[in-house]
Amino acid sequence: MFALVGVNPLFLMLQLNNRSNMFSGQTMANSKRKLPTKSSVTTAQEKPHTTRQSPNPNDVPAQGSTLGNLFQECFGYETSNFSSLTNFTTWLQRPVDGAALGVFRLLFGAAMLVDIAEERGGGQLDVRFGEPHHCHFPLFPGMRALAYPLMGCVYLCMWLGAWGIMLGYRFRCSCLAFIVPYWYIFLLDKPTWNNHSYLFGLVGTLLLFTQADSYCSLESWLNPARSRSRTVPYWNYFLIKFQFFVLYMYAGLKKISAEWLSGYAMSSLSQHWVFAPFRQMLDPELIDLLIVHWFTAFFDVSIAFFMTIEKTRLLVTPFMLSFHLMNSRLFVIGMFPWVCLAEVPLFFSFDWPRRIRGRTKTAPAEAAALTPSKPSLLARLRTCLILGYCVLQLFLPYSHFITKGYNNWTNGLYGYSWDMMVHSYDTLQTSIQVVDNDNQLVHNLNPFAFTEYERWTKYADMAVQYAKCIEENIQNRQVKGGPSIGSNISIYFDIWCSMNGRFQQRSFDPRVDLLKAPWSPFETTSWSLPLLNELNHMRPKLRTIENEVLAWNNYSDVIFVADFPGLTLINFISPDLINCTLTILEGNVRYKSEVERESYFLTAGKSIGLQSNITHFVTTIGQKPASYLFTYTNKTMLEQDIASEEETAAESERPLLPLWREFEQRVANYQQFLEHIGNCLLYLLYDVPIPLAVRERD
């Protein structure tokens, strides 16, 4: 399969159906192609196992007959189907049974009904849109959230659209009612972006153009005389399957990197109960490296190919199902595993739902009527649009050289690049200073006073948006009970975080006023500090030191820090911490505490003890970054060791598979969502006051 990675993914995706579903797969008596007639047409449902057509000598691909035969043997189609736009259009337009697509539509709609109340924020509607000073992070300047009651109507429209998709009722209108609010909510808040939310929006949009309501739909049941043909053009399947093909393949390609294959992205997953069978053969570190990282990379990059090839499909299907079921236990990723599971049957025969019901025949006349002898101009235009969409999806995940302003430690915004689980962050400290320039006063602001999101701490565009939102809230005097601040202000962010087990380091220059900081989506952001990759060689050493410190006792810990030349780390050590030590790993620093007048020059290998309950200043000097570590023991937790043991015992009694508890939580969340919708409607119709929840702030 590694040999297939270099093949054009679009060319391979053109073969997303098995031989048993080929409409024009009969053996012909001579090498000349004949137009299908009413009596000669055989559908996939009438003849599921067909004989491959003898290749026409004139249609042998340029690569040679051997490659063509291998391609046909693997995917069940002749390369001549893709030799011209006309042949490819005919291939896409061929009629196939719409039963499998109808079942996928039903399952996707059901998943979206759950997703709206969960990851779309329906259960927390009042918190997200009920507070007038809540900050949003839209993709396009000028986008604004509607008033809370109107946002309730937006969610109601999306919810009704999901019902219509699931039931197959007024399908086109239902798809529009779902995807328009969905994309509005999605584009309104970049911190909520993730790859599967992007996938849901794409699939909902693609379904709009298909005939997915041709089977298992309320519309066909209510109006059987007006119901659509049971066959649909193959491109209805092709679009959906291509989108999932890109999902898997690009997720694998993004994992084929030193960052992922070194095993730093996802640590300690081996402790989860789903890996219990592997712990009988491998130690935890090998499970994290071989199973979590190496196998996942191979799985993602190859599974779509294996599912496309008929001879390997049944063999890899159990791996496909197990993979997504395990993900549903390992991560909080909403409906993503279930939507992927709903898509798996699309790789099998088009009529499998009818076979289960014992109804597999399709009228030959109906199929013949849908089989054009020559594709029309409209059909060719549709094919060009499909190819354009495919090219766009193949290009976007690698388009970050254009949108340079969104690049920071990673390329582009998280959510459309299919770099799933490749990067994990640990944010140590976030501070915001609002400086009143007229009065020369500095005010420390709670970083999460106006948002519950954290992703703005990693991306320069969101940092600028948040700073301007803070300024707007201050100027509009929407923050009551706080100190009086003038109109001439500056805002500075000092954010420390670590990516994939690296040192804690700053993400932005703390000396830059973000209200005046330049930012463009097409230019590199100068005040966004780069990732200190020159210190990557120390990552194995960091793991060794961490294991040694953690072995001291149950409440000892270590923090690894790296800083840029000329910058100072201001660190207040809590009185709860004892045995605090600063040790220099690389570079040179100047250390000083608030109670001492003298400063100390420390070089690599030097250590110094630190007092608790005071502020310490560590300034990096020289021409290169400095790296150092803090070790400490939590005195409070050490004194409460008995209570901690009781908590550990309680955690060990938690069920491994808390399905009922999760079900109850989802039901309660859904009740909250419906209450929010009802409150919004009562306010708009009868002016009934809306009870609002107060968001808890740190």
Active-site residues, by number, are 255
* Apex 96 CA angle, 94 and 98, nearest 5: 135
* Neighbour count for residue 214 (Cβ, 10 Å): 24
| CA 695 to centroid of chain Cα atoms | 26
Dihedral Cα 637, 640, 645, 648, nearest 10 deg = -50
Residue with tokens 């993503």: 336
| CA 377 to centroid of chain Cα atoms | 38
Single-letter amino acid code for the residue at 389? Y
Please give the structure tokens belonging to residue 289. 């490296």
- Eight-state DSSP code of residue 54: P
Q: What's the Cα-to-Cα distance from 515 to each of 189, 465, 539, rounded to whole Å?
A: 20, 9, 36
SS3 481: coil
Dihedral Cα 26, 29, 32, 35, nearest 10 deg = -50
b/e sequence 535-544, b meaning 16+ C-beta within 10 Å: bbebeeebee
| Closest C-alpha to 95, from 211, 182, 186 | 211
Helix, strand, coil % over all residues of the chain, rounded to 5:
50, 15, 40
Residue 519 CB burial class (10 angstroms; 0-12, 13-18, ≥19)? middle
Q: From its phi and psi, is residue 263 left (phi > 0), alpha (psi between -120 and 50) or beta?
A: left
Residue 337 CB burial class (10 angstroms; 0-12, 13-18, ≥19)? buried
β 588-593/556-563 pair status? unpaired
| CA 474 to centroid of chain Cα atoms | 34
Backbone φ, ψ for residue 136 (5° rounding): -115, 160
Q: Cite the DSSP H helix spans in 168-234.
A: 171-188, 195-208, 218-222
Residue count of the chain: 698
Q: Cite the DSSP H helix spans in 525-583.
A: 539-550
Please give the structure tokens belonging to residue 160. 């009704």
d(CA 599, CA 612): 18
* Neighbour count for residue 350 (Cβ, 10 Å): 30
| Interacting residues of 642 by C-beta distance below 8 A, sequence separation 6+ | none
d(CA 252, CA 72): 25
Please give the structure tokens belonging to residue 103. 């079942």
Q: Which strand (E) or helix (H) includes residue 319?
A: helix 310-330
Decide: 190 and 139 in contact? Cβ < 8 Å: yes
